[in-house]
Amino acid sequence: MKLTINNLSKTYSNGTKAIDNISLEINEGMFGLLGPNGAGKSSLMRTLATLQLPDSGQVLFNDIDIFSNKISYRKQLGYLPQEFGVYPKESAKGLLNYFAVLKGISSKKDRDVMVDYVLEITNLVDVKKKHVNTFSGGMRQRFGIAQLLLNQPKIVIVDEPTAGLDPAERTRFLNVIRNISSENIVLFSTHLVEDVKDLCKEMTVMNSGWLAPKISPSSAIDQLKGKIWETMETEEKLDATSISYIKLSDRYNSENVLLNRIYTEERVPDTFFSVTPKLEDFYFLTLKGT
Amino acid sequence: MAIFLYEIKAWLKHPLFYLFCCSFFLFSLITMLGTGGYFDEVLNAKGKVLFLNSPHALSSISFLLAKFLLFVIAVLGSYGLYKDYRNNAHAFLYSFPISKSAYLNGKLGSALFAIIVVACVTILGIWVGDMMLGVANPKIMPKSSVGYLVTLFVYFVPTLITSGVLVFTVVGTTRNMYSGLIVVICFALLQMLSEQLFFNQKIVLALVDPFGQNAFQMATQHWDVDLKNTLKLPINYLTLMNRLLWFIIALSCYALFYKKFDFTYVQDKKFNTLRIKKSKIGHVNVRGTKSIIKVRHNFSLISKLKTTIWLMVYDFGKIVKSWLFLVPCLFGIIIIFFIQLRITQTGEFNLLPLTRLFIGAPLTFYTVLVVISTFLFSGLSIHKAKQHKVKELVDSSPIENWQFIVSKIGAVGLMQVVQLILFLLVSVSIQGLNGHYQFELDLYLYHLFILLLPVLFVWNITSHLIHTMFTNVFVGLFVLLVLWLSAQSLESLGIHTNLLKYNYLPNLEYSDFHGYGNQLKGYSLLQSYWLSFALMLIILLTLLWHRGSLFSVKEKYSLAKSRLKTPTLLLLILFTLQFVWKGNKIYAFELEDQNQVKAYDGKSFEHYKANWEGHGSSEQPKIKDVDLQIDLYPEEERFVAKGQYIMENQSKVAIDTVFVRTGFDENTQLHWENQAQLVKADEKLKTYLFKLNNTLYPGDHINFSFTIQNVTNGMFSRNSNVLKNGSFIRQDILPRIGYQFVQHEVSLTDSLVHKHNYFHRDATYVNLRTRISTTANQTAIAPGTLISESLHNGRNSYEYRTGTPVKFNFSLHSATFERLEEYYKDIKIHLYFNKGHDQNTESMVAGLKAALKYNTKWFGKYPFEQVRIVEYPFNEGDYTATLTTNNIPTSEMLFNMNLATMKDKINLPFYVMAHELTHQWFGNKILPADAEGAKMLTESLTEYITLNIYRDHFGEEMANVFLEAQENRYQRGKKSAKQEERPLYKVLSHQEYIAYGKGAIVFDKISSLIGKDKLHSVLATFLEKYGNESSYFPTTNDFIQLLKTKTNNEQYMRIKDWLTQL
């Protein structure tokens, strides 16, 4: 099972180039799409959910063009947009029943079974009769997952689902996602590096419509080993040295001293101390690289 | 102030604002130009015309414009406030240090600013039209600025501001912009409702009418054309009270809302999140999704159909539970109730609550609500997912586009069906509650679901397409309303073709005789024409339907283009061809109809006068003898007639030219048998001048024959009087002699006042022989006595003769009649009526018998062996009944009176029959001169005699009811009269309120003054002196002179005063 993106481009009528000739292959398991706000992640996700047409390029799901075979692709698709609402005065069960019909479960008996099942998975059984518009953010996101599970999708696209969730709710949510990914392709976009680190088999970084080559989070960290340093030197002093470096981030230590975190492959003086690379370093490095 | 200015700037940047301004500017401009004849040839109208730019006319038009503008008010009044809720801006905006007054007053102020600007631009359109027409136009008066100021600041703007404040208040309270629409619908319906509720309480009505229109009408009810054309202000204290009342109502509502409004109050339930016990949410089921459960995801065609139906029912369920649906339905029920009440209980009489009445005006008004609901719910249905941010979830589902389209159209279609069923149930319930159990369900079902539903279906499709094209639901609604109202605007532009009047179908009338008659052909053709168009729209809808977001126009176009594959293209071509083919047929039929000039309009009148002026004073022979053979073919709606006139020169001079005009709806050939030569002809006006080969000297006779065939019915026009059942043909099919546009009702002082009778110049009393045939299942009736009847070759043939000379006033009938036979002494009374219309026959016969008894006692013999009441379809004549020789053609309406509920009212079937039969003496035996006051000698005297018949039959108490009804008739007519009141002896033919209402009262007073016997003896003498007279026709002066000889001076002076003074 694979999703293949070939030379995909999309420019909006206002001139914004949201997707810039990207190519990518995604296999079974969880795939993380990291990127800052405005990177084009949602545009890519919407395009992969067939909700907008690209200007050029092709997307194949198991070698079938998704834009030419939208309906058959959608039968296997579960999509959770970054922002979604619900119809007012609809219970969780009622609305899921509606979505189940949309997803092709025409038998009432089957629908009941499936709706109960997804409610159980997302732990919404206790509130199934409550109106969804009264749900908290986390519950609503779980409801979003519940609806995408209704058609037992082979490819799941979730767009920044953890934004705004408290840590407990975020953990619960990610656990659900993790379970889905065991047998399916899950494309998961986020601007939170931590989400990707533990969950995704593979990942990529997107910025300004451009996509970095995909990599596994562990490889991304491994390839930075011995190349990430922290120093108390100011940026002016660093620039005065002959070292070629890329500043990744900075932070204050417990003595309230500003530490600059840099990437360099060159030999560094003793005032630099080596630190263990984090996925965040890879993310910032990739962004700087673009 | 900052909010106010910000909102104004926002409006000035909003395209919707400019769309509204431009649309209403153009609408009012076109209306003004169209009414002013800018698009047509302007006639040099002679006589008085109403100025279009007088304060009165401008105020009148503003009421119509205000109703059109209400929709815009629903948007302008609420958008500024609602957008904060819609965009969730209120979540942070309410935490700003803004005062409540600054926020609400700023929002309201800016909304009212926008409303005032659109209102001014609308009136500006009229003013520009006024300028374009110019003072040279006979309908334009100079110095009209006062009218504009009054219209704008007394009627137009206050109404719009009031409705705007109410919309603002309700939308602010409900936080739902669509509630604004309901407010304006209720606002418009309130006027209609109050007109029904306070029909007899004019002051209350003037106060509660939210438009001030009834106050305006009260202020101007006595204005004649001259007053309306002055700068006089159409305002009175009621107008000001009305404006003040509604201002206070709006302000109070706003004050209440203002008081309740709270920045900290989070009304929106979506922020009122659910609290769940923590212990319950700690656990998450960690399981795979695939291996555990097996359900079928079925995408077979059957399954897709099932899903489509499920979605349709789901959407339908949401619609019918919505208060946006329920409120208009409630209003619909109220409308049905009050309008049927208005129709069936007129004050003078009650009609049976028949199905045909319910499918008339009540359904027309109810349909307005159904169409508005269609526009609204199709928009809500299409934009619902986007509005609630569910669109991406829904659009990424594996549902085919056609499933969405069919389910949404189906849901709105179901809504329409439910609304029609509701109409049926409410109507049937009202019928049942009134004790009328002949529900005619088949007629309801046919009218609602075969005739009306397809029209609603076209609106359903159109509405879905328009809302798909426009992303803003209010723009879509606006476009639809413009489309809906365009039919009337096209008429203003002088465009009359049905081809362009979008989905506009004529109102159908139903008679128990012949159903919808030949109207149905044209209706069905138009219906199929617009249905073909709807099929094209469905294809367009499938091409333009889009899912997902961020679609530019270019993208939509390329998407549609990519979907236009061969099968779709072929279907589109097929539907287009079908539409064009039907359009072509309609065009051809309309052209055919246009070529048949049916009646005189202004232009043909001018043409006639120009061509034939000067012939008015020439002496013409008079018809003495008519021999007519007419064959009716009801199934084919045609007749063929042959006839012969014998004419006599009754003047004192020789005649050498004869002037003939033949029927407009007939093709007539005249045969003079070498006695005359055609010297001038006008085929368009069917007018011919013949020169006689031999001069016709006084007392000489001449005859000519003719053949007549009706012009066949057009697709959209009625030319033939022959119906499939219930034909009612008058003498106007026959050739008429003499110049037609002579002055009628000449002055009593005219030297030739006694020369012509009031009814016909070309005949006084004639002998008539009629041979008439029709199909075997129908009976044909003509004036006179039935001489013979036979059934031959599947056709019924009859011969009638009048025996004695009769007034040239005929009627011919053919229908499948039920017959009732009665006798008064040796006079046969025959009733011919449609099956089932026997409710009031007893009263009718009683009326005839009473009239025969009374009149034969006082005024002499009834000249025929029988009298017939013959029913005709209610839409075939503009009177209830009339007397034609010994027949009384009577409208279906009189047979449908609900006598059981008229205990305290005049027994109309009795009264009408007594009245018509009395005309045998006063109207037939006495032929008044063609002079002012003629109707006193026919109608006033007849009403007085009828009153006496009524008194004898029902007693003094009911006679007082009769008199009271006449008094009401007089007072009502006086109020609504467009021309000055005249004394009874100079009454004009159209002043029926004087001739009937005042006439009956005055003669009853004379009767009381001099005694009934004496007055009756005067009447008998009058009849004796002038009855059956052919050379001297009496005037009211002759009657007054006779009264003078029979009364003392004091009595005479009083009588003279009553008759000759106001």
Look at A134 and B296 and tell me if their CB atoms are within 8 Å: no
Cβ atoms < 10 Å from Cβ of A283: 25
Q: At what angle do helices B473-492 and B55-76 cross, to 10 degrees?
A: 160
Where among A187, A214, A241 does a domain terminate? A214
Within 133-192 of A, beta carbons closer than 8 Å to B belong to 133-136, 139, 144, 147, 149, 151-152, 172, 175-176, 179-180, 182-184
On whether any CB of chain B is under 8 Å from the CB of A289, the answer is: no
| Boundary-marking domain end, from A214, A239, A256 | A214
In this complex, do A134 and B274 lie within 8 Å of one another by their Cβ atoms? yes
* Nearest chain A residue (CA) to B313: A98
Q: Which of A148-152, B218-222, B228-232, B827-831 has the highest mean pLDDT?
A: B827-831
**List of domains in chain B:** 2-267 (no CATH), 300-594 (no CATH), 620-712+722-741 (2.60.40), 924-1062 (1.10.390.10)
Residue A16 touches chain B, beta carbons under 8 Å: no
Please classify residue B400 by burial: count the beta carbons closer than 10 Å to its beta carbon, then call 0-12 exposed, 13-18 middle and 19+ buried.
Answer: middle
- Residue B978 is predicted with a pLDDT of 67
Average pLDDT over residues B99-112: 87
Q: Which pLDDT score, from 0 to 100, does residue B989 have? A: 87
Q: Cβ–Cβ contacts within 10 Å for residue A88, how many?
A: 14
Contacts for B230-234 with beta carbons within 8 Å, 24 or more apart?
A: B230/B54, B231/B54, B231/B55, B231/B143, B231/B146, B231/B147, B232/B55, B232/B56, B233/B55, B233/B146, B233/B150, B234/B55, B234/B56, B234/B59, B234/B150
Same-domain check for residues A275 and A175? no
Alpha helical stretches, state H, chain A: 41-48, 70-74, 92-102, 108-121, 137-149, 167-181, 193-199, 217-222, 235-240, 279-289
Per-residue pLDDT at A66: 93
Taking the alpha carbons of B463, B464, B465, B470 in that order, is the dihedral positive or negative?
positive
Whether B825 has its CB under 8 Å from any CB of chain A: the answer is: no
Q: Determine the residue among B175, B268, B270, B289 to mutate to test chain A binding: the one whose Cβ has the most chain A Cβ atoms within 10 Å.
A: B289
Q: Which residues of A touch B286 (CB under 8 A)?
A: 175, 179
The Cα B657–Cα B640 span in angstroms is 28
Q: Which value, to the nearest 10 degrees, does the dihedral of the CA atoms of residues B171, B177, B178, B180 take?
A: 40
Angle at alpha carbon of residue B107, lines to B105 and B111, rounded to 5°: 110
Residues of A in contact with B272 (CB under 8 A): 134
| Cα distances (Å, whole numbers) of residue B1045 to A270, B1042, B1048 | 146, 5, 8
Determine whether the interchain pair B392/A79 forms a contact, defined as Cβ–Cβ distance below 8 Å.
Answer: yes
Nearest by CB to residue A110, choosing from B285, B295, B390, is B295
Range of the domain at A246: 222-289
In Å, how far are B298, B409, B541 from B569, measured between CA atoms? 30, 22, 13
Q: Which of A151, A154, A155, A146 is nearest to A105 (CA)?
A: A151
Give the other-Cβ count within 10 Å of B1048's Cβ: 9
Would you tell me which residues 462-501 of chain B have a C-beta closer than 8 angstroms to some C-beta of chain A? Answer: none
Closest by Cα among B466, B579, B588 to B530: B579
Test the B interface: residue of A77, A102, A155, A176 with most B CBs within 10 Å: A102
- Average pLDDT score over chain B: 87
Residue-wise over B612-648: b if at least 16 C-beta within 10 A, else e? beebeebbbbbbbbbbbbbbbbbeebbbebbbebbbb
| Mode of pairing for the β-strands spanning A56-61 and A2-11 | antiparallel
Per the document, the length of chain B is 1062
Under the banding of pLDDT at 50, 70 and 90, the label for residue B585 is very high
SS3 label, residue B889: strand
Domain co-membership, A65 together with A176:
yes
B696 in Cβ contact with B663 (< 8 Å): no
Q: Is the pLDDT of residue B289 over 70?
A: no
> Does residue A147 sit in the same domain as residue A44?
yes
Residues of B in contact with A88 (CB under 8 A): 269-270, 388
Q: How do residues B520-536 score in pLDDT, each as one tens digit? A: 999 999 999 999 999 99
Residue B273 has what pLDDT? 44
* CB contact A36 to B (< 8 Å): no
* pLDDT tens for each residue of B593-626: 877 655 555 566 667 777 777 776 788 999 999 9
Chain B, 261-280: which have a CB under 8 Å from a chain A CB? 269-270, 272-274, 276, 280
pLDDT score recorded for residue B931? 92
Number of domains chain A contains: 2
Contacts A104 to B, Cβ<8 Å: 297-299, 303, 307, 398
Contact A179 B314 (CB under 8 A): no
Q: Could you tell me which chain A residue has the CA closest to the CA of B407? A: A102
Burial of B768 (0-12, 13-18, 19+ CB in 10 A): buried
Q: How far is CA B1028 from CA A195, B690, B945, in A?
A: 112, 31, 19
Compute CA distances B800 → A66, A279, B906, whole Å.
86, 113, 35
A152 to chain B: which residues are within 8 Å by CB? 289-290, 293, 295, 297
Nearest CA in chain A to B558: A53
The label of the residue with tokens 């006068």 reads B609
SS3 B1024: helix
d(CA A239, CA A237): 5
Domain with residue A158: its CATH number is 3.40.50.300
Whole-number pLDDT of residue B560 = 86
Considering only CA atoms, which of B296, B413, B436 is closest in space to residue B352?
B436
Q: Cα separations (Å) of A33 from A19, A215, A230, A248, B780?
A: 13, 11, 27, 19, 91
The predicted model gives A31-58 an average pLDDT of 91
Residues A84 and A11 in one domain: yes
Q: Does A128 touch chain B (CB under 8 A)?
A: no
DSSP B737-776: ES-S-PPPSB-TT-TTTTSSBSS-SSEEEEEEEEEEEEET
Nearest-Cα residue of chain A relative to residue B269? A134
Say what the pLDDT of residue A243 is.
79
Q: What is the pLDDT of residues B650-664, one digit of tens each?
A: 888 999 999 998 988
Percent of chain A residues past pLDDT 90, beyond the cut: 42
pLDDT band for position B291 (cuts 50, 70, 90): very low
pLDDT, greater one: B550 or B259 = B259
Closest residue in chain A to residue B559, using alpha carbons only: A53
Query: Which residues of B are less than 8 Å from A102 in CB distance?
Result: 307, 311, 394, 397-399
Q: Computed from CA positions of residues B904, B909, B912, B918, in that sequence, does the dihedral angle turn out positive or negative? A: negative
Average pLDDT over residues B932-952: 95
DSSP of B229-242, one letter per residue?
TSS-----HHHHHH
CB-nearest to A102 from B273, B388, B394 is B394
Q: How far is B391 from chain A (nearest CA, A)?
A: 8
Shared-domain flag, residues A127 and A196: yes
Q: What is the pTM of this model?
A: 0.87
Pick from B284, B381, B546 the residue to mutate for testing the A interface (most A CBs within 10 Å): B284
Q: Region A62-66: what's the mean pLDDT?
A: 91
Choose among A120, A152, A184: nearest Cβ to B285: A120
Question: How many other β-carbons are positioned within 10 Å of the β-carbon of residue B47?
Answer: 5
Counted across chains A and B, CB pairs separated by less than 8 A come out at 160
What is the token pair recorded at B49?
């015309």
Question: Are residues A236 and A210 part of one domain?
Answer: no
Whether A52 and chain B come into contact, CB under 8 Å, resolves to yes
Judge whether A212 and A204 are in contact, CB under 8 Å: yes
Q: Residues 83..122 of A with a Cβ closer than 8 Å to B: which?
A: 83-88, 98-99, 101-107, 110-111, 113-114, 117, 120-121
Residue A167, Cβ density class (10 Å: 0-12 exposed, 13-18 middle, ≥19 buried)? exposed
What pLDDT does B343 receive?
86
Q: Are residues A135 and B274, on separate chains, in Cβ contact within 8 Å?
A: yes
Q: Which long-range contacts (CB under 8 A, 24 or more apart) does B949-957 make?
A: B949/B847, B949/B850, B949/B851, B949/B854, B949/B914, B949/B918, B950/B906, B950/B910, B950/B911, B950/B914, B952/B850, B952/B854, B953/B846, B953/B850, B953/B910, B954/B907
Report the alpha-carbon distance of residue B394 to residue B400 in Å, rounded: 11
Which string of DSSP letters, residue by residue, matches A173-227? HHHHHHHHHTTSEEEEEES-HHHHHHH-SEEEEEETTEEPPPB-HHHHHHTTTT-
- Share of chain B residues as helix, strand and coil, in percent rounded to the nearest 5: 55, 15, 30
- A173, A198, A214: which is the final residue of a domain? A214
Measured distance CA(A217)–CA(A207) in Å, rounded: 18
Q: Using CB atoms, pick whichever of A51, A83, A131 lies closest to residue B395.
A: A51
**Half-sphere exposure for A266 (CA within 13 Å, toward CB):** 9
Q: Measured between alpha carbons, how far is B454 from B523 in angstroms, rounded to an integer?
A: 11
Q: Do A237 and A197 sit in the same domain of this protein?
A: no
B-chain residue closest to A148, CA distance: B393
Instruction: Specify whether the backbone of B347 is left (phi greater than 0), alpha (psi in -120 to 50) or beta.
Output: left
CA atoms lying within 13 Å on the CB side of residue A114: 30
Per-residue confidence at B425, pLDDT binned at 50, 70, 90?
A: very high
Of B381, B382, B363, residue with least CA distance to B422: B363
pLDDT for the residue B278: 44
Residue B1009: pLDDT band by 50, 70, 90 thresholds?
very high
Whether B753 shows a pLDDT value over 90: the answer reads: no
Q: Are residues A109 and A209 in the same domain?
A: yes
Distance of CA B38 to the CA centre of its chain: 26
A143 with A251, same domain: the answer is no
Burial of residue B980, with CB atoms counted within 10 A of its CB: 0-12 exposed, 13-18 middle, 19 or more buried? exposed
- Asked if A125 and A176 sit in the same domain, the reply is yes
CA dihedral B594, B595, B598, B603 (to 10 degrees): 80
Q: Encoding tokens for residue B315? A: 């959407």
Q: Let me know whether A104 and A229 are in one domain.
A: no
Instruction: Nearest by CB to B397, from A74, A111, A152: name it.
Output: A74
Q: Is the ipTM of this complex over 0.95?
A: no
Query: What is the per-residue pLDDT for B581?
Result: 96
Query: Among B275, B438, B472, B262, which Cα is nearest to B356's?
Result: B438
Residue of B274, B293, B395 lying closest to A114 (CB–CB): B293
Contact state of A130 with B274 under an 8 Å Cβ cutoff: yes
| The token pair that represents B642 in the structure block | 């042959």
In eight-state DSSP terms, residue B414 is H
Tell me whether residues B284 and A176 touch, CB distance under 8 A.
yes
Angstrom distance (rounded) from CA A174 to CA A161: 9
Token pair listed for B571: 């279907």
In this structure, are residues B359 and B443 in contact, taking their beta carbons and an 8 Å threshold?
yes
Alpha helices in B824-940 (DSSP H): 841-859, 892-895, 908-918, 934-935
Cβ–Cβ gap A85/B388 under 8 Å: yes
pLDDT by residue (tens digit) across A132-146? 988 888 888 889 989
Residue in B283, B392, B398 nearest the CB of A103: B398
CA distances from B1044 to B457, B569, B1001, B1037, B1051 (A): 71, 89, 20, 10, 9
Is B540's pLDDT higher than 60?
Answer: yes
What is the least distance, in Å, from the CA of B174 to any CA of chain A? 14
**Is any Cβ of chain B less than 8 angstroms from the Cβ of A64?**
no
Flag if A106 and B272 touch (Cβ within 8 Å): no
pLDDT at B886: 93
Sort out which chain A residues have CB atoms less than 8 A from B274's CB and list them: 127, 130, 134-136, 139
Residues in B closer than 8 angstroms to A12, CB to CB, are 550
Contacts of B178 in chain A (CB under 8 A): none
Of A49, A111, A144, the CB nearest to B396: A49
Of B869, B827, B868, B824, the residue nearest B850 (C-alpha): B824
Same domain, A19 and A54: yes
Predicted confidence at residue B93, as pLDDT, reads 62
Retrieve residue B190's tokens: 């309130």
Q: Flag the least confident range among B102-106, B173-177, B728-732, B897-901.
A: B173-177
